[in-house]
């Protein structure tokens, strides 16, 4: 045994009641759970009074570039996250040329030279192994990247040849170990795709396994149609479905989550494997470019827009605009808000990231309490700026604010939604559990104090209450500080 964590209250990820036990780790794997005797040479960690859980799986991240540019990934591992699922919202890491256009969104344009070289998804996964970050990385193929690669931003269906090109890249990605594909249907170019195209791509995964994860076409008044489309893609494609960041966005849509959850329940009773993920805040965050485009084209995919509730999170060329609302900037410019938003987009391009206060607290709790919901941060790892605090605080906030303080669910159930449930859905075998043979991805925390500590003004704060985090048995966080270790690797899904 290399490591024994002694006397913790162990939550094994199944959602059942915890038990007091010692957990022994050997060679990166959990070797034993129970009453363990002392062994010479094993590191002992006294954990009485603390909770020990499987490391959290962030099923909805945008860490594709961050794992190379900030390989310690402190904003994630400080939360207890040990696996990040990248490639969400259609924004995939390959083909590399098409993916590079997302760099400004992360304020990472100037850091381009620090990225390793890759072309395909196979290369990307290999690059993760060659330049390991502190946590594990599982990869979704991004539909937007596939589509841009073959046909740019054309607002038309793909030709047979273009579709065949997309299918080839998807198949190669799945062969390399990607765990599914994602779409972002409010963003260019995903928004120009029709349902059939998405079904055809899903069918490519039907035999081999792979999840279809979607940032749906509409999270506002059109939420229910969008959920129905998503379920149809899963049903007709014969694949499991993940609704990304399930929410009702904009006042006029508030309350619709009761109906969207009912649609999920009905589909599940018909045998469609549909689940969702959520970040635990009433504000969202995305590129101002997309908000403005949806508004100007009356697509309403991001919900009703209230410019006074939309605040700049990052504006790399104009940091003085950060934390100011579009309405406020408009008043200063003597412009209307749409003109002001246009001026910001003209000045910053994809680098203008906003925080949007669009959700209702009751809806957040309703979605979270539903058994179809797992947890995903949707954090946007920008250089500079004031990113949405979900980047640093999602998982502790669910455990502290929502499970412990608000009683939305038990701590054991909250942990299940971050561990065993996502591991099963995304085919991450041997993860998300505390049992002999499972990977020693572990988080030790104080259930009495765990919570996020960030705010919209000061988002870059580590959460409270996380005592230690191990990835594959190697300690990456120690008493609130990163150890500098980078034991992560690419997690590849075997095509079955």
Nearer to Zn ion (CB atom), residue 118 or residue 212: 212
- For residue 286, the minimal CB distance to Zn ion (Å) is 7
CA–CA distance, 319 with 313 (Å, rounded to integer): 9
- For residue 308, the minimal CB distance to Zn ion (Å) is 23
- For residue 378, the minimal CB distance to Zn ion (Å) is 6
What is each CA distance from 50 to 26, 243, 371, in whole angstroms?
Answer: 21, 33, 26
Pairing of strands 474-478, 466-471: antiparallel
- For residue 62, the minimal CB distance to Zn ion (Å) is 8
- For residue 312, the minimal CB distance to Zn ion (Å) is 19
Ramachandran class of 86: left when φ > 0, alpha when ψ lies in -120 to 50, beta otherwise: beta
Nearer to Zn ion (CB atom), residue 140 or residue 261: 140
Cβ atoms 8, 51 nearer than 8 A: yes
- For residue 183, the minimal CB distance to Zn ion (Å) is 10
Beta bridge partners of residue 45, listed in sequence order: 5
> Residue by residue, what is the 3-state secondary structure of 131-169?
CCCCCEEEECEEHHHHHHHHHCCCCCCCCHHHHHHHHHH
Strands of 197-344, DSSP E = 211-215, 241-243, 274-278, 283-287, 310-314
- For residue 494, the minimal CB distance to Zn ion (Å) is 28
- For residue 489, the minimal CB distance to Zn ion (Å) is 26
Cβ atoms 64, 99 nearer than 8 A: yes
Nearer to Zn ion (CB atom), residue 89 or residue 166: 89
Nearer to Zn ion (CB atom), residue 225 or residue 332: 225
Nearer to Zn ion (CB atom), residue 215 or residue 247: 215
Sign for the CA dihedral angle at 373, 401, 89, 221 comes to positive
Nearer to Zn ion (CB atom), residue 425 or residue 486: 425
Question: Quick check: helix, strand or coil at residue 93?
Answer: coil
Which residues have a Cβ under 8 Å from the Cβ of 37 and sit 6 or more positions away? none
Structure tokens at 353: 């990231």
Nearer to Zn ion (CB atom), residue 134 or residue 183: 183
- For residue 151, the minimal CB distance to Zn ion (Å) is 22
Q: Which helix (H) or strand (E) holds 180?
A: strand 180-184
Nearer to Zn ion (CB atom), residue 5 or residue 89: 89
Ramachandran class of 27: left when φ > 0, alpha when ψ lies in -120 to 50, beta otherwise: left
Given the rule CB under 5 A, which residues bind Zn ion? 89, 215
Q: Which helix (H) or strand (E) holds 203?
A: helix 195-206
- For residue 87, the minimal CB distance to Zn ion (Å) is 11
CA–CA distance, 225 with 52 (Å, rounded to integer): 41
Cβ atoms 260, 371 nearer than 8 A: no
- For residue 14, the minimal CB distance to Zn ion (Å) is 29
Cβ atoms 152, 146 nearer than 8 A: no
Helix residue ranges per DSSP H, 358-472: 361-369, 390-397, 411-418, 420-425
Backbone angles phi, psi at 418, to 5 degrees: -110, 0
Nearer to Zn ion (CB atom), residue 52 or residue 216: 216
Nearer to Zn ion (CB atom), residue 310 or residue 476: 310
Q: Which helix (H) or strand (E) holds 54?
A: strand 51-54
Nearer to Zn ion (CB atom), residue 89 or residue 291: 89
Nearer to Zn ion (CB atom), residue 88 or residue 169: 88
- For residue 136, the minimal CB distance to Zn ion (Å) is 22
Sheet of strand 141-142: strand arrangement: 141-142, 180-184, 211-215, 241-243, 274-278, 373-375
Question: Quick check: helix, strand or coil at residue 357?
Answer: strand
């Amino acid at each position: 045994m290399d490591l024994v964590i002694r006397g913790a209250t162990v939550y094994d990820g199944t959602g059942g009641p915890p038990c007091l036990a010692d957990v022994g780790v050997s060679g990166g794997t959990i070797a034993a759970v129970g009453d363990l005797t002392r062994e010479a040479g094993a590191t002992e960690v006294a954990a009485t009074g603390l909770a020990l859980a499987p490391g959290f799986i962030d099923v909805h991240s945008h860490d594709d570039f961050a794992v190379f540019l900030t390989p310690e990934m402190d904003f994630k591992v400080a939360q207890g996250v040990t696996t990040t699922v990248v490639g969400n919202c259609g924004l995939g890491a390959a083909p590399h040329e098409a993916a590079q256009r997302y760099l400004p969104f992360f304020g990472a344009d100037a850091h381009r030279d620090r990225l390793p070289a890759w072309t395909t998804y196979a290369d990307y996964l290999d690059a993760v192994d060659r330049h390991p970050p502190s946590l594990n990385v599982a990869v979704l193929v991004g539909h937007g990247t596939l589509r841009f690669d073959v046909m740019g931003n054309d607002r038309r269906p793909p030709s047979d040849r273009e579709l065949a090109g997309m299918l080839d890249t998807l198949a190669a990605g799945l062969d390399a170990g990607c765990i599914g594909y994602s779409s972002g249907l409010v963003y260019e170019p995903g928004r120009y795709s029709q349902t059939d195209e998405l079904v055809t791509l899903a069918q490519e995964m039907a035999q081999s396994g792979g999840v279809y994860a979607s940032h749906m076409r509409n999270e506002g008044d059109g939420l229910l149609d969008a959920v129905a489309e998503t379920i149809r893609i899963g049903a007709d494609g014969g694949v499991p479905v993940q609704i990304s960041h399930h929410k009702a966005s904009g006042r006029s849509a508030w309350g619709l989550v009761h109906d969207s959850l009912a649609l999920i329940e009905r589909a599940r009773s018909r045998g469609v494997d549909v689940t969702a993920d959520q970040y635990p805040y009433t504000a969202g965050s995305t590129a101002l470019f997309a908000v403005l485009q949806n508004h100007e084209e009356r697509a309403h995919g991001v919900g009703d827009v209230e410019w006074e509730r939309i605040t700049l999170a990052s504006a790399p060329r104009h940091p003085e605009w950060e934390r100011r609302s579009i309405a406020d900037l408009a008043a200063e410019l003597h412009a209307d808000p749409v003109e002001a938003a246009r001026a910001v987009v003209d000045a910053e391009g994809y680098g203008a990231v906003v925080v949007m206060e669009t959700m209702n607290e009751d809806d957040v709790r309703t979605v979270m309490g539903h058994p179809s919901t797992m947890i995903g941060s949707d954090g946007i790892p920008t250089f500079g700026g004031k990113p949405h605090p979900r980047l640093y605080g999602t998982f502790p906030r669910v455990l502290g604010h929502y499970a412990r303080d608000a009683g939305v669910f038990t701590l054991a159930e909250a942990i299940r939604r971050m561990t065993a449930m996502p591991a099963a859905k995304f085919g991450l075998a041997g993860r998300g559990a505390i049992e002999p043979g499972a990977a020693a991805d572990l988080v030790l925390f104080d259930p009495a104090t765990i919570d996020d500590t960030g705010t919209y003004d000061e988002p870059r704060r580590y959460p409270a209450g996380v005592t230690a985090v191990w990835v594959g048995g190697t300690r990456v966080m120690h008493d609130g500080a990163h150890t500098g270790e980078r034991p992560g690797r690419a997690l590849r899904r075997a095509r079955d």
